[in-house]
Structure 1
Amino acid sequence: MSRRHVPAVLGLVTGALVAVPAQAAHAAPVEVRCSVPDLVAAINTANGTPGPDTLRLAHGCTYKLTAPDPVHPGNGLPVITSEITIDGRGATIRREAHGKKVPKFRIVYVENTGSLTLTRTTVSGGHATDCPAFPDAVGVACGGGVSNNGSLRISHSTFTGNTSSSAVFAQGGAIDSPGRAASVIDTEVSDNHVVYDGKAPEGGAAGGAVSNDGPLTVTGSRLSGNTATVTANTNSIAFGAAVISFSGTTIEDTVISGNRAFAVKGIARAALANGIPEELGRLTVTGGAVRDNVADAPHGTAQGGGIANNALMTVSGVKISGNRAVAQGGTARGGGVRVGPFGTLDLADSRITGNTAEAPGGTAQGGGIDNPDGGTLKATRNEILRNTVTAGKGTAQGGGLYHAGGATGLGTSTLERNTITRNRAADGGGIFKASGTLTLSGDVVRDNQPDDCAPSGAVPGCGG
């Protein structure tokens, strides 16, 4: 399922700022006692007051939400419609469901007129069952912790234990942002879940931690232990267990680890995935790590344990390690990185190490990198080391890299000054080329098992 971000229509901002009295624009922070009614009242007051407002929560308090907002029952707190900063000072805002029959609702929604800055706050237990930014998308659920249709800045915070679930399509277990801008800085986003729980075929769950249809920047953060799951035997897709991006996205110095996409007899795709229309930019990942993530599709298709790209993507200086694409009795492709049929990936100065594609009794290809369907890969100065492909009595090809031209035969992999060593597969321990165009330029391909390149003579410049 793809969606286009619809930019918010801004009013006469300049005129509005001129009309705001100086004292309202620089209002003193509001101290919010450790009380949910006080927090609700403070947000309502800020929404009705011209100019920006800062709410300072009680240090270390847990604001326990046991009922949804009466005006917008999809949310626990009042909708943010103005410019508000919430300084949590270590506080937690939590949907309190333990031992009680509490309705499902997300924690907060930012309207297109709103701007929320959230700092030093833990957000937990939210459970989205609707998608307020796209009200016509019946049955779609977005953003268990926060859904942003305006402007959102999260820093030094934690999002944990939030869920987005739907019998149609769900995205953004913790954070969903189709808004005009969003940034996540030095924040922990862990153990959140996106779930397709319907019975119809071809449903979807995307973005266990974060989903965005608007511009997004993630800096110096940790995204770990998040999941994307779908109902078994429905031929549905679970993708982007950590992040799914549908608009221009920049991820810097961030660790994406231990996330899992799971789809029995379906498609499980990557911890970090994208499907950005070309006119909306690209996904750029710089520094940090993508490690120990799993795409698991028993008797289905696993595509990219760590990264799956089907649009425009640049990856530079990233450690991609210990990821697994697993499909018992099915097809597993791209333990570390998978390039889809519409993908263009520039991969540079990165380490792709110890990744695995495994499909006992099935087909496994591309332990480190997989470009099988007509995509475009340019790989420069990378280390592709100790990646593995296994399939028992099945097919296991391309320990370091698997390449095929796809249905059109036009897929290309252009390699320059990479080191491809100590990778392993049943066939093509270093590189397996099935079709299409693959070129080497100054690359070192050696010490792979049982061979460096296969079939013999398929890769010019590689001795086999």
Structure 2
Amino acid sequence: MFETDQQKAAVQAWDEELRAKHNNRWFASLLFKQGETVFQRFSGYYSQLTALPRRTRRTLQRKWAVTLAAAAMAFALSGAPNINVAQAAADIMVDGKNCTLMDAITAANTDAVVGGCDGSSSDTLVLTKDIVLKAIDNSDFGNSGTPVITSNITIQGNGHKIKRDGKDPFRILTVANGAQLTLNNSVITGGLADVGGGILVHGGTLYMDHSTVSGNDAETSGGGIALVGNGSDVKYSSALILSSVVEKNAAGENGGGIAAMNGGFVLAVQSTISGNEAGLFGGGMAAQNYSVAWSKYSTIADNTAVQGGGGIASVDNSFLIVGASTVSGNEATDPDSSGGGVLSIGNFESKYAIVVNSTIARNEAGFGGGVSNYSSGMGILASTIAGNSASQEGGGIWNDDSDMGLFATIVSGNSASNGAEVVNNGSLDSEDNLFGHSGISSGQAFAGFTPDGTDFVATSDANNVALGSIIDTSGSNPRLRDNGGPTLTIALVPGSPAIDGTGDDRTGDDFVSLDQRGFVRDTNADIGAYEFDSEARPAVCDAPPIFNGPVNIIHGTEGNDKIKGTSGNDIIIGYGGNDRLEGLGGNDCIIGNAGDDQLYGDEGNDILWGGDLDNVTVYSSKDRDKIYGDAGDDEMHGGGDKDRLDGNDGDDVMYGDDGDDTMVAHDGNDTMYGGSGKDNMRGDDGNDSMYGEAGDDKLYGRQGDDVLDGGDNNDQLDGSDGTDTCTNGEQLKSCEA
């Protein structure tokens, strides 16, 4: 935590660095990949650097040849652990009788005794029951039911609600310039205000973790949450929304769920923003007037806006990032609206909105059912745009008076009166995309746009290949499924002409070496967002969304290491030697690399990756883990809950143990034991032996001569290719016995 002036300076420097690099594609990719801790790390480094003596600062700047802000950004992106500044804190028990929420906030603001509440430095307000607010407390920033927060306060809600119950209109919480609110495991509901119905952040900072903002209303913007600056005394407001829900809020103008305005910044990570409504733009999220809206590993679904951006919108020179997220089922309702899912409008100064590794599906609008880019700039990278509809133009994409780059993306199965897939009235550069289907002509699919020679066009008068021979389909429509990674994707099918279609080796290219799921591209990369049969392993632990807070990075050596992580989130890297790596608590990513290693996930949802040429032994935990054997003959134990085990190369032995597990053998002659639970076991190449054991299991032999034994209960056995032996199954297919 930082003092008020330090906080404001850090946020201002962050904003300036973001704007300085907004049109750098490499920077945008790296910023996306490093995740939600970048801003916190940047703030810590920047505050430390600016606190150095002036002579030292000048010497460092000359040596580095960059500004202090640029240096802080580089440090933040380098993956170093967060810097935490410890402060004394007091727990204030809020019971509504001896200590009310109003008195507790005032005590925390003043570091004094107020009523039955004793404040001291950075305080934690612990709720022991639901809090019902019946009257207006103050009108400093519009009506508020609680005192304005002017210091660093944590509310530990323990699942309790803070709600309005009365005739008077007022919001629930207000955070003033330079203050910080951390909201843990709390529910904010029933607020009604002119701006920020649930929470207003007016130049301060909000950290929200495992909390819900629901059923709030704003007459103007930010039905659930509003982040507001005014460009002078109060310029910057920021929010980090972690593993939280923002739902069923409404705003008369912008940002039914969340609005960032006049220098606001919001990053939603592993969160759900759904069922919100806006009278103008951004049903789920909106950024307006030099602000930033960023979604990562999140779901923006079933929101509505009248004019545009049913899911998420950036307007008036603001910046938008949709990363590894799902934007689905949103609607812009006016007949002339634009951007059912995503809208960027009037943002030429900021140059770029970015959609990367995301799925935009089943959204509706007048123009641009999936995505609309109007008088703006946008890049869409390694994403899926499918099943969207427009009543007028551009079922998938509508690009008008704008610049757009479209790269390694699937745009298929969309519909509109004109230009079912893409309508372009501006500048649109495309490369390595998969467009359309054989049920429509190119004239029906495109208007004002001719795909590049590197694209694959499946329309009736182009390649005229049945869609089911290219990608996974349901009937005549593309099928979105869980193929690994943070979003649903559309898989390529065996023999697809998109496989190896680019002819490019992207394995060494940091920006395009991964497909939408975060899986590694082959040396001859496939066309579109999905890499067929690519290696099922994450890129530096960032592709799957496992982290929900700060991350500790622990490096081993080239020798034999014994490393234990912390109770928090760890990345443990073994390097060479025969290592024993143990994650302990938190959500961990453990990488063995070379050598014969033993990996233990322990508590939390972990990623365990054996690394190259290991004969690795991996032990999961009772939580949901992802285990990647990679090369070598590996032994893997799933433990409890729903685990995914990927053997990859080598002759592997996999034990699903408890829970409903997914086990994929890949190459080699592998042996799999399902244990209890409803398991899904896939053999792939090699002569594999699969034993379902207890539970209703599904066993697929695929290539090779396989042994499939369902074990107990009602099992489905499918030998597929090869000469397979099947026993103890209720449903048999392609089996010799």
TM-score over 0.5 for the alignment? yes
Contact 2:421/2:446 (<8 A) preserved: yes
Counterparts of 1:323-362 in structure 2, within 5 Å, are 323-325=363-365, 332-341=366-375, 343-358=376-391
What is the CA-CA distance between 1:171 and the residue it aligns to?
0.6
Structure 1: which amino acid aligns with 2:338?
Q
Contact 2:294 2:320 in 1 (8 A): yes
2:459 corresponds to: 447
Counterpart CA distance in 2 for 1:115 and 1:82 is 6
State whether residues 430 and 445 of structure 1, in contact with CA within 8 Å, keep that contact through their aligned partners in structure 2: no
Cα separation, 2, equivalents of 1:448 and 1:251: 36
> Where does 1:215-294 land on structure 2 (aligned, <5 Å)?
215-229=265-279, 238-246=280-288, 247-262=291-306, 267-275=307-315, 277=317, 282-294=319-331
The equivalent position to 1:306 in structure 2, one of 316, 321, 341, is: 341
Letter in 1 for 2:360: I
The 2-side partners of 1:377 and 1:71 are apart by 44
Which residue does the alignment assign to 2:483? Answer: none
Which of 137, 162, 165 is matched with 1:69 structurally? 137
The residue type paired with residue 211 of structure 1 is A
* Higher strand content, 1 or 2: 1
The match for 2:254 is 206
Q: What is the Cα deviation at residue 440 of structure 1?
A: 1.0
SS of 2:102's equivalent in the other structure is helix
Ranges in structure 1 where 5+ consecutive residues have no aligned partner: 1-6, 18-23, 130-141, 196-204, 230-237, 326-331, 359-363, 390-395, 405-410, 453-464
Q: Could you tell me whether the CA contact under 8 Å between 2:276 and 2:304 is conserved in 1?
A: yes
Which residue identity does 2:148 align to in structure 1?
V
Please say if 1:402 is aligned against 2:420: no
Deviations along 1:254-312, whole A, 9 cap, x unmatched?
A: 100000113xxxx34432100253xx7x32211020000011114xx110110011222
Q: Is residue 430 of structure 1 aligned with residue 445 of structure 2? A: yes
The equivalent residue for 2:242 is: 185
Cα separation, 2, equivalents of 1:450 and 1:66: 65
Residue aligning to 1:122: 187
Is the counterpart of residue 30 in structure 1 residue 92 in structure 2?
A: yes
- Answer whether contact 1:153 1:184 (CA < 8 A) is retained: yes
Residue 410 of structure 2 aligns with which residue? 383
The equivalent position to 1:366 in structure 2, one of 394, 401, 406, is 394
**Deviation of residue 448 (structure 1)?**
5.5
Corresponding residue for residue 407 of structure 1? none
Work out the number of aligned pairs and report it.
360
Q: Secondary structure at the match of 1:399?
A: coil
Instruction: Tell me how far apart the structure 1 counterparts of residues 237 and 389 of structure 2 sit (CA, whole Å).
Output: 38
Q: Which structure has the bigger radius of gyration?
A: 2
Q: What residue number does 2:68 align with?
A: none
Identify which of structures 1 and 2 has the higher relative contact order when contacts are C-alpha pairs closer than 8 Å and 6+ apart. Answer: 1
Identity of aligned residues (%): 30
| 1:71 CA displacement | 6.2
Q: Is the contact between residue 93 and residue 99 of structure 2 (CA under 8 Å) also seen in structure 1?
A: no
Q: Which residue of 2 aligns with 1:152?
A: 206
> Given the two structures, how large is their TM-score scaled by the length of structure 2?
0.46
Question: Is this contact kept in 2: 1:218–1:251, CA < 8 A?
Answer: yes
What's the offset of the Cα at 1:39? Answer: 1.2
Instruction: Work out whether residues 429 and 449 of structure 1, in 8 Å CA contact, stay in contact via their aligned partners in 2.
Output: no
Q: Which amino acid in structure 2 is aligned with residue 82 of structure 1?
A: S
Note closer, same or farther for the CA distance 1:40–1:287 as it changes in structure 2 (3 Å cut): same
Question: C-alpha displacement at 1:209, in angstroms?
Answer: 0.3
The corresponding residue for 1:55 is 125
- What is the alpha-carbon distance in structure 2 between the residues aligned to residue 377 and residue 82 of structure 1? 43
Aligned-partner SS, 2:101: helix
Confirm or deny that 1:163 pairs with 2:217: yes
Q: Closer, same or farther in 2 for the Cα pair 1:71/1:256, shift >3 Å?
A: closer
Letter in 1 for 2:283: A
Return the offset for 1:397.
Answer: 1.1
Shift of 1:37: 6.1
Tell me the equivalent position of 2:157: 88
Distance (Å, rounded) in 2 between the aligned partners of 1:75 and 1:57: 19
Change (3 A) 1:302 1:423: farther
- Provide the secondary structure at the position in 2 that maps to 1:46: helix
Change (3 A) 1:376 1:63: same
Report the Cα offset of residue 429 of structure 1: 2.3
Q: Displacement of 1:36 after TM fit?
A: 9.7
The alpha-carbon distance between structure 1 residues 112 and 413, as it changes in their structure 2 partners (threshold 3 A), is same
Residues 70 and 147 (structure 1), Cα distance of their counterparts in 2 relative to 1, 3 Å cut: closer
Answer whether contact 1:388 1:423 (CA < 8 A) is retained: no
What is the rounded CA distance, in whole Å, between the counterparts of 2:98 and 2:343 in structure 1?
A: 41
1:66-105: CA deviation from partner (whole Å, max 9, x where unpaired): 11104646101110001100010111000014xxxx1100
1:413 aligns to 2:463 (yes or no): no
Whole-angstrom CA distance in 2 between matches of 1:413 and 1:188? 35
Amino acid in structure 1 at the alignment position of 2:122: P
Supply the AA of the counterpart residue of 2:176: E
Q: TM-score normalised to the size of structure 1?
A: 0.73
Matched to 1:38, the amino acid is T
Judged with a 3 Å threshold, the aligned counterparts in structure 2 of structure 1 residues 401 and 71 are, in CA distance, closer, same or farther, namely closer
C-alpha displacement of 1:25: 4.0
Distance 1:420 1:215 in 2: 34
RMSD: 2.6
Asked if the contact 2:457–2:463 (Cα under 8 Å) also holds between the matched residues in 1, the reply is no
